[in-house]
Structure 1
């Protein structure tokens, strides 16, 4: 891989690593469902005017907006409002083994013993993190992260079944469809959301702007360019840097605690995901996802 491509891959990983921290900062002021809705509205406003209407793909995009927009991002942001960013950044990597499992069912993709080993390591690592004494009172939020990872994997299947579609069309129109769903959920579950939005500080809006522009548009656009231009084996492993950056940043920025269970569990998850990626990296994953 040329130096410029390597630097671009590194930049994407850094953006996604920082993005987990900016979302964590934003949900501290704006309720998660409302925050996710605003994110998708902003992405749609920036992208939809410059794309064509993918009429033949709208039904599938509508389903994707529910699975990926609400089921993944909405649930993930809810979990981040209740959990430290570090564990979330690690546990969300379960989307990789979940994707392998679904690919076996939907696309007759043979797992092989190496990827089975990787999947086992990933799930063992998450189990170790669940055993951490500091996680005793947050089991439900942890399960929400696992669910969000599963929805990310399901979204990968739906994206593959969409066929050829421009990245900006995908993100823009999915965002336009996801935003109303999330707004309705926010009005039902977050009665003080409007007041929180009105009174949010400039820091919250700066965090949200980073998520919209740098993560949703710049990073994803660069990522798909890299996947189309270079061998997947050269590109995908860079994404493993994102959770490392997130965990490091969560300790430095938010002062999050670290423990033996978190360290061992996190390293085990990373090792398992690395085995899966290096064995046969998925072609249509949306890494970092957030």
Structure 2
């Protein structure tokens, strides 16, 4: 890739890696559903003025807002409130093999033995991490991260089937519809959320601002530009730097402990996901797909 594109890809990886840490810091003060609601509300406020209403697609965007906004981000932030950022950054990568599975059905992709091997490695790596003694009492949040990863894959399929749509339209209008859903969940499950928001420190608000501006707008803006202008197989592997940054950052910032099973499991997941990303899917010649 040209130097400019390389620097953009590196910036995306760093921003996404740091973003996991900022979210972890923010949910320590602001309850997760409320935090996610504020995040999407802020994204909508920043993008809607520059994004026309995508007429004829609002119904599909409403469904995507539930899948991507509530069931991916809402559940992921909830899990982060109960578990270290390092394991979350690794396990959420299961969204890649989940996406490959769904693509075989919806887009007629053929996996091939190498991509199947990568998928198997990714799931084995997560199982190894589940076996870690320090994770014994954290099975529920770990499973919630797996669920959030699957919802990310489902959302990707839905967005792809949505067709060509402006990035600001997609992110802005989806965020506008996701925010009320998450506010409603916060009212039900987080009765003291408003008090927590009012008493949150400037650090929590700085963390939230980072995830709104840098992750949701800047990083995704760079990423979509790179996917449109560069070879996808060259761009996508850069995203594997993000969880590595998150894992080492969580050790430095939060003092999260490493263990042999965490390290082995995380390395196996990264290898498996790397194989999947580097293997371009082959299209079957069968006709009749939607």
Fold equivalence (TM over 0.5): yes
**How many pairs align?**
282
1:76 Cα deviation from its structure 2 partner: 0.1
SS of 1:56's partner is: coil
Query: Is 1:72 aligned to residue 72 of structure 2?
Result: yes
Corresponding residue for residue 242 of structure 1: 242
User: Given that residues 110 and 281 in structure 2 are in contact (C-alpha distance below 8 angstroms), is that contact kept between their aligned partners in structure 1?
Assistant: no
Q: How does 1:140-159 map to 2 (within 5 A)?
A: 140-159=140-159
Q: How does 1:254-265 map to 2 (within 5 A)?
A: 254-265=254-265
Corresponding residue for residue 63 of structure 1: 63
Corresponding residue for residue 124 of structure 1: 124
1:164 Cα deviation from its structure 2 partner: 0.5
- Alpha-carbon distance in 2 for matches of 1:142, 1:281: 29
- Alpha-carbon distance in 2 for matches of 1:146, 1:281: 23
Classify 1:178/1:154 alpha carbon distance in 2 versus 1 (closer, same or farther; 3 Å): same
User: Given that residues 233 and 281 in structure 1 are in contact (C-alpha distance below 8 angstroms), is that contact kept between their aligned partners in structure 2?
Assistant: no
Corresponding residue for residue 136 of structure 1: 136
- Alpha-carbon distance in 1 for matches of 2:56, 2:218: 26
Classify 1:29/1:281 alpha carbon distance in 2 versus 1 (closer, same or farther; 3 Å): farther
Q: Deviations over 1:152-199 (max 9, x none)?
A: 000000000110001111000000000000000000000000000000
Classify 1:128/1:99 alpha carbon distance in 2 versus 1 (closer, same or farther; 3 Å): same
- What is the TM-score of this pair, normalised by structure 1? 0.96
- Alpha-carbon distance in 2 for matches of 1:170, 1:281: 25
Corresponding residue for residue 115 of structure 2: 115
Q: Deviations over 1:20-49 (max 9, x none)?
A: 000000000000000000000000000001
Corresponding residue for residue 188 of structure 1: 188
Classify 1:87/1:197 alpha carbon distance in 2 versus 1 (closer, same or farther; 3 Å): same
User: Given that residues 111 and 281 in structure 2 are in contact (C-alpha distance below 8 angstroms), is that contact kept between their aligned partners in structure 1?
Assistant: no
- Alpha-carbon distance in 2 for matches of 1:13, 1:81: 23
Segments ≥4 residues shifted beyond 4 Å: none
1:281 Cα deviation from its structure 2 partner: 7.2
SS of 1:55's partner is: coil
SS of 2:91's partner is: helix
Alignment root-mean-square deviation, CA: 0.9
Corresponding residue for residue 286 of structure 1: none
SS of 1:134's partner is: helix
- Alpha-carbon distance in 2 for matches of 1:228, 1:131: 40
- Alpha-carbon distance in 2 for matches of 1:110, 1:60: 27
Q: How does 1:138-217 map to 2 (within 5 A)?
A: 138-217=138-217
- Alpha-carbon distance in 1 for matches of 2:3, 2:281: 21
User: Given that residues 33 and 186 in structure 1 are in contact (C-alpha distance below 8 angstroms), is that contact kept between their aligned partners in structure 2?
Assistant: yes
Query: Is 1:32 aligned to residue 32 of structure 2?
Result: yes
- What is the TM-score of this pair, normalised by structure 2? 0.96
- Alpha-carbon distance in 1 for matches of 2:140, 2:216: 27
- Alpha-carbon distance in 2 for matches of 1:51, 1:107: 29
Q: Deviations over 1:52-90 (max 9, x none)?
A: 000111011000000000000000000000000000000
User: Given that residues 85 and 246 in structure 1 are in contact (C-alpha distance below 8 angstroms), is that contact kept between their aligned partners in structure 2?
Assistant: yes
Q: Deviations over 1:75-113 (max 9, x none)?
A: 000000000000000000000000000000111110100
Query: Is 1:222 aligned to residue 222 of structure 2?
Result: yes
